[in-house]
Amino acid sequence: MFTAKEKPLEQIQKPNTPCFHCGVECVTTAISKDDKTFCCEGCKLVYEILNENGLCDYYALQSHPGLSQIKGIRADKYAYLDDKAIANKLYTFTNGKHSIVKLYIPGIHCSSCMWLLEHMTKLNDGITESRLNFGAKELTIHFLESKISLRKIVELLATIGYEPYISLDANEEQKKSPASKKKIYKLGVAGFCFGNIMLMSFPEYLSSDLGIEHQYAQLFRYLNLALALPVFFYSASEFFSSAWAGLKQRMLNIDAPIVLALIITFGRSIYEIATNTGSGYLDSMTGIVFFMLIGRIVQERAYKSISFHRDYKSYFPIAVNVIKDGVAKPCALQELKEKDIVELHNGEIIPADAIVLDGVANIDYSFVTGESEPVNIIKGNIVYAGGKQTGEKLKLQLIKPVAGSYLTSLWNHYSFSKDKAEQNNKHSVIHKLSRYFTIILLSLATLTAMYWYVVNPANILPSVSAMLIVACPCALLLAASYTNGNILRLLSNNGLFLRDATVIEQLGNIDHIVFDKTGTLTAGSNQYSFSGHALNEQEKAVLYNIAVQSTHPYSKSLASHLGAYPKIELTSWNEIPGKGITASYNGDSIRIGSAFHTGVVPSEKDTAAVYIRYNDSVTAFHITPEFRDNIPNLIPKLAHNYQLSMLSGDNDRQRGVLTDIFGSRATLLFEQKPMDKLRYIELLQQSGKKVLMVGDGLNDAGALQQSNVGITLSDDINNFSPSCDAILDASKISKFSSLLRLANAAKHIINTAFVISILYNVVGLTISMQGLMSPMIAAILMPISTLSIVMISTGISSIVAKRHGLSLIG
């Protein structure tokens, strides 16, 4: 039997400390047990089991004492999963007996996590299978409903340190998303057919030397035609669909000339094989499709596991406890009604605007408004949707439905109705070039046909078909696809994940960067200090006993900074909401609170959050949000190449510090509401600016959507980020300047590839128009030139990344 060690488990701050079990460095918080440091709960469990009981002792894992209780989790937290209607929406499959659920587990990061989660079957015999997608942090569990419920599975995961993040909105999006396997199947078919067609074409290429017999040559030609059919009608279908969609909108996109080349090569091949005049160009046609599909799949892989399209539903719980007849029962969010009485616990998000009926609300609105300090709200006052309770249990009465709350009004703004990806595609340089390319190519082909019609009609078909084959824009498109795909890979390796390749081009056009402050420039932690009258130990003890009785966040910060002191009996104590505390002890008069409450006249540069008047002595207590590492070094680098602005929902206490960082040319605006930020972006765009917005919370969602490029800074790239064009890993923010330079270089690399492609086409077209290039030679030269341009463009992008100090390997 497994025996628990005596020393308790504790959370400690040990950044960059290697885990005792797996060796992975602990990024911020580590777990300490028996003087050993572990990066996660999983490593601690696996180490103890393997250390004391031998390898793969599953009974030891089952009997681990930690599995008998849910550590740090409220017993009824996941009670809503007992509701069949809610549970059914989370299942990917269920027949009433056997069910499958896919859960996102943010805490996965090492081999021990994988070992534990893939052996869930050993923890409960109701779980028949558990498979982990390590990259996407998704755990797929098959289970028998007669033996274990979804709620028990989630509680079991939370018990062993892998509490899942459950979002109904994310689950719905997952069900809507088409399987990417379809494109892989298309690539497989194209690759198989292309390889075999090339193999059977060699005798045709070398027929003059080998003297291949006529009947075998015809056999190979018909076999090649049979292999080309699935490529043309199945693998190339998305190119036809895209070109047709463009034509319906009266636009010639980059797929239009590709489709034209496919039709010409396929049609000419059928003609030659049927008339026994040649072998056609099926190798070129299948090669175009194969390499184009590779380029598109390479681009998709960089961002397929990250969600860039989230609205407010992603941040709300699936259900909350509603009090009916004195009993709290789980209720799905969409079923909440006005006047429902809701029970809210510490750390939970307010689902709709409501009135506080019972308890003291200490609401953190930073994710909604940008204001970094929690707001203390007493009974009878209104709290707004999206705020997070950071204190005791609350009882609220809803005054609006979820869809009518303040938070959802952010998503009613017209900026959210715009499809930025579609707009970026329409204005893409590649699509503009392809439009002119197609028009010029068709014009030259028409002139060539007219010329040979007069001079020698027999040369019309060979000349025009050779032109259309040799001038296929696949060199340009493949160069763009592979360059963008490589840059997407390089950016993601260094912490910047883009929604799609069109964002790279938009980043290259940016000339103004707007930063949010709270959570973006600041790290979410604070620095504390005193100024003025130096407090002695007796005064600190009295102040601690005064502050510790208040639930106001400033009082809590003051008490925490002072440290623990023995309890003393105060003579009097009175708190005035919105002003401060008045107290007395042994004849001493003490006031803690605002400048007005304490009788202080602050100077213009005074940055104090709280003032303390102890009799006639005044002490200022400063609460300064701590900036993320490298922000003071990063901002001046960006200022050399971009105009900068900073928007904050906070007051201007840090104006002086921020002016030193941003410089005098930057615009600093404070006390900005979400709509103020959005309007500021609009004004910049109306003046001709191309704006990049960097934010982190729902309060930035409108501005992120309105900007030309919206980047969300996130400490967890797979979780809690509003709708955006890109997600930047907060730990890699020091590389932001280099990442922007690489994205900007992509434009020049693709332009270079385009110039090379144009030169190649000019030479090829000149020869073809004179009827001097056979279609066979054109078919051979096309893939050679295309591959050479692709290799040059992708190689240059890797060299540029290395020059800017970026990692080439993730």
Average confidence (pLDDT) over 576-601 = 88
CB 776 within 8 Å of CB 278: yes
Question: Domain 524-626 sits in which CATH superfamily?
Answer: Calcium-transporting ATPase, cytoplasmic domain N (3.40.1110.10)
> Could you write out the DSSP letters of every residue in 703-736?
HHHHSSEEEEEESSTTSS--S-SEEEEGGGGGGH
Q: Name the token pair of 538.
A: 């007796």
Task: Say if residue 605's pLDDT is above 80.
Answer: no
Q: Residue 305's pLDDT is what?
A: 47
* pTM strictly above 0.75: no
791 versus 787: the higher-pLDDT residue is 791
Q: What is the mean pLDDT of the chain?
A: 76
Q: Residue 190's pLDDT is what?
A: 93
Q: Name the token pair of 105.
A: 């587990």
Task: Say if residue 668's pLDDT is above 80.
Answer: yes
Structure confidence at residue 27 as a pLDDT band (50, 70, 90): very low
pLDDT digits (tens, 9 = 90+) for 337-374: 888 888 887 777 788 888 888 887 778 776 565 555 67
Task: Say if residue 804's pLDDT is above 80.
Answer: yes
Q: Report the DSSP beta bridge partners of residue 324.
A: 327
Q: Residue 55's pLDDT is what?
A: 41
Question: CB 126: neighbour CB atoms within 10 A?
Answer: 16
Beta strands at 29-33 and 36-38: parallel, antiparallel or unpaired: antiparallel
What beta strand segments (E) does 156-245 contain? none
Structure confidence at residue 688 as a pLDDT band (50, 70, 90): very high
Task: Say if residue 570's pLDDT is above 60.
Answer: yes
Q: Residue 515's pLDDT is what?
A: 93
Contacts of 101 (CB under 8 A, 6+ apart): 90, 91, 92, 140, 141, 143, 150, 153
Task: Say if residue 467's pLDDT is above 80.
Answer: no
Structure confidence at residue 18 as a pLDDT band (50, 70, 90): low
Q: Residue 289's pLDDT is what?
A: 86
Task: Say if residue 734's pLDDT is above 80.
Answer: yes
The Cα 39–Cα 161 span in angstroms is: 11
Task: Say if residue 587's pLDDT is above 70.
Answer: yes
Structure confidence at residue 407 as a pLDDT band (50, 70, 90): low
CA distances from 354 to 370, 377, 378, 544 (A): 20, 12, 12, 33
The Cα 353–Cα 334 span in angstroms is: 14
Which of 29-33, 470-474, 626-630 is most confident?
Answer: 626-630
- The helix/strand count (H/E) of the chain reads as 27, 31
| Residues of the chain above pLDDT 70, percent | 71
Domain spanning 317-414: which CATH class is it, in words?
A: mainly beta
Residue 665, burial from CB neighbour count under 10 angstroms (0-12, 13-18, 19+): exposed
Task: Say if residue 610's pLDDT is above 50.
Answer: yes
779 versus 578: the higher-pLDDT residue is 578
The Cα 100–Cα 82 span in angstroms is: 16
Domain spanning 79-166: which CATH class is it, in words?
A: alpha beta
Q: Name the token pair of 171.
A: 């689950």
Task: Say if residue 233's pLDDT is above 90.
Answer: yes
Task: Say if residue 135's pLDDT is above 50.
Answer: yes
In the chain, CATH 3.30.70.100 sits at 79-166
pLDDT digits (tens, 9 = 90+) for 87-116: 888 888 888 889 999 888 877 766 667 777
Average confidence (pLDDT) over 496-522 = 85
Helix axes 474-493, 282-301, angle to 10 degrees: 20
In the chain, CATH 2.70.150.10 sits at 317-414
Helix axes 460-470, 429-455, angle to 10 degrees: 160
Average confidence (pLDDT) over 503-522 = 87
Please give the backbone phi and psi of residue 753, each rounded to the nearest 5 degrees, phi first.
-60, -35
Specify the DSSP element, H or E, that contains 84: helix 84-90
503 versus 808: the higher-pLDDT residue is 503
Which of 262-266, 575-579, 604-608 is most confident?
Answer: 262-266
Task: Say if residue 466's pLDDT is above 60.
Answer: yes
Structure confidence at residue 690 as a pLDDT band (50, 70, 90): very high
The Cα 197–Cα 225 span in angstroms is: 9
The dotted CATH code for 508-523+628-743 is: 3.40.50.1000
Structure confidence at residue 542 as a pLDDT band (50, 70, 90): very high
Q: Residue 177's pLDDT is what?
A: 46
Q: Residue 200's pLDDT is what?
A: 83
Task: Say if residue 494's pLDDT is above 70.
Answer: yes
- Distance from CA of residue 220 to its chain's centroid? 49
CA distances from 284 to 121, 257, 460, 775, 789 (A): 51, 15, 21, 11, 16
Average confidence (pLDDT) over 173-185 = 61
The Cα 661–Cα 651 span in angstroms is: 17
Closest CA to 196 of 232, 220, 212: 220
Task: Say if residue 271's pLDDT is above 70.
Answer: yes
Q: Residue 78's pLDDT is what?
A: 81
pLDDT digits (tens, 9 = 90+) for 40-73: 666 666 666 554 444 444 444 444 444 444 445 5
Structure confidence at residue 317 as a pLDDT band (50, 70, 90): low
In the chain, CATH 3.40.1110.10 sits at 524-626
65 versus 680: the higher-pLDDT residue is 680
CB 612 within 8 Å of CB 590: yes
| Residues of the chain above pLDDT 90, percent | 14
